[in-house]
Copies of this chain bind each other. A is one copy, B any other.
């Protein structure tokens, strides 16, 4: 090994040691074991997709998962194809959708509200069920921002859920009350989007 190689190796080792100390310190500080509330918001790609990734992860450990989709009701989705066809004894998943078309196709406030409320009844029951490890409320921000659902009722159900249960909420425009109830909030911020440069949404990647 040349002296330059040796120096490089030493610098690398020092940098990695510094990282390790930060990680170790964090690990020793983080002690509380309980379910968490994650909010994925912002205008960028990846909110629903990250929720789907977490569903795959939780099912991979055999945990029970309930998914409710407030907007993407009638679209064919690759992830739904796969996840809902798994052996339900090994991978216990319930997947609920709103019974209307995409809201900007239907343009009927009362019908959308009724469909959202019907979905909410199922999710509220999941939020009170100890056997459910993860509840995903996809595009919940729309259902709240359009006032289809009662905000206080939703927040109360989240706060009173079983302590082992985690919740993922997705959608643009998460209000401060959702940030407050969350343990982890990530904003998906768009810096560049294929769509804006005349490229179609890609099957199997974006939907």
Contacts and interface: CB of A to CB of B under 8 A. Distances in A.
Contacts of A36: 194, 199, 202, 205-206
B166 A205 contact: yes
A160 interface: no
Interface string A107-128: 1111000000000000000000
| Number of identical monomers bound together in the oligomeric complex | 2
Interface string A87-122: 000010000000000011111111000000000000
B16 A202 contact: no
Interface in A29-51: 29-36, 38, 40, 42, 44-51
A175 interface: no
A56 B79 CA distance: 5
B133 A200 contact: no
Nearest to A51: B53
Interface of A: 5, 8-9, 12-13, 16-17, 19-20, 23, 26, 29-36, 38, 40, 42, 44-61, 63, 77-83, 86, 91, 103-110, 133-134, 146, 166, 168, 179, 182-195, 197-207
